[in-house]
Structure 1
């Protein structure tokens, strides 16, 4: 059996709060390692704030702000107040929630840190002893699964004629399913939201392999009958399909939207 080792440890970044303008050449921080941020998961970092002689700086009655900055446009991406853990030892932590990174592109960024003392005076926290005020951060998106939005259908246009037996019927556009749905019979969910809706919702699926799925290839796989239903409801189904769509038959009320998520 193959044995795989994993390591759980915290990223610790040392930065320099230099209130003394005189240069000290002892114990200098020559290399500031980049901050690695991963999409799809919460990221927590520890910052150790020292002076330019590598001694911890007291953060009593201070606030410390972390800024992530786009390296190309120089625009602020987001800010976070650091949590002060050991104020006498200059230790602070930062939590970046995975959801905060959903709409941020992977790539190279910069970060800066500003400390404000109890008197409201701001001080730059340098990323090294060479007065470099910006550190480097890299957002990675190839490690953890990313959030995939649900397929949605709304603004239903109903037909009522001999083809529909004079019942209000609307079809959504078709959605191509993800590759893993086509390869195995995974459970899938349909969520719908309505106001006093009476009628039914049919989930129709197709295995048609054409680049443009033939509308006549869809068959009903699952459905929900509704009688004066309001609010959000859902049903599940299972199967291997290449494309899906919704058929809504309306007697009364309103269907607001339908979500499909594999």
Structure 2
């Protein structure tokens, strides 16, 4: 026959699965035996798993609510006078938002095609989300993956990433460093003036998007900063980057995000 304390331990675990809020209350009913120490660890692990499930469910509901309300805003203030225009169809953007996390940065590589009659008009047809080595830092991706994946002869345009910051009107320090490395290490530097960075910010009631590109001065500043030559680094200037026009039309693009 089983000892009574083991029977109580099994009973509390079953109660915990049906009602996770009684985890701490059941600790006083379990004997302080070696076997009960293991069960306590299992209960704490179970509680953490349920907490992660609650956060994931809450984030999913919030994102779905933003999509249903069509609260998507494009930052079009102070657009640079260039011929570049990037077109991102709403269904691809919606797919990217739905598979993203509001608390974790998610980065994707942007691929598309240029217009035959106007090379400055670029349609984003695919967002590829590579593997990431960390959770809360987006600048830990493998740059070699860019050359490994080519989708239907699409051109590589740049990258997009989500952020929990409410301000997407300026390019952050981390984004500048990463974008410079992104262009140089991916062997895409021959067209660096056409490499775009799209910031997707989750604000309390909407999703805000801004598109940037680094100027030649900005690339040189980022190259020196990434090389660790701080003594030769000049003060950062807003002239190191400029905004480009990003359009989000309602037409449906048959391509989606790849993960």
TM-score normalised by the chain length of structure 2: 0.26
Q: Which has the higher contact order (CA 8 A, sep 6+)?
A: 2
The structure whose residues are more often helix, as a share, is: 2
The structure whose residues are more often strand, as a share, is: 1
TM-score normalised by the chain length of structure 1: 0.26
Task: Name which one, 1 or 2, has greater alpha-carbon Rg.
Answer: 1
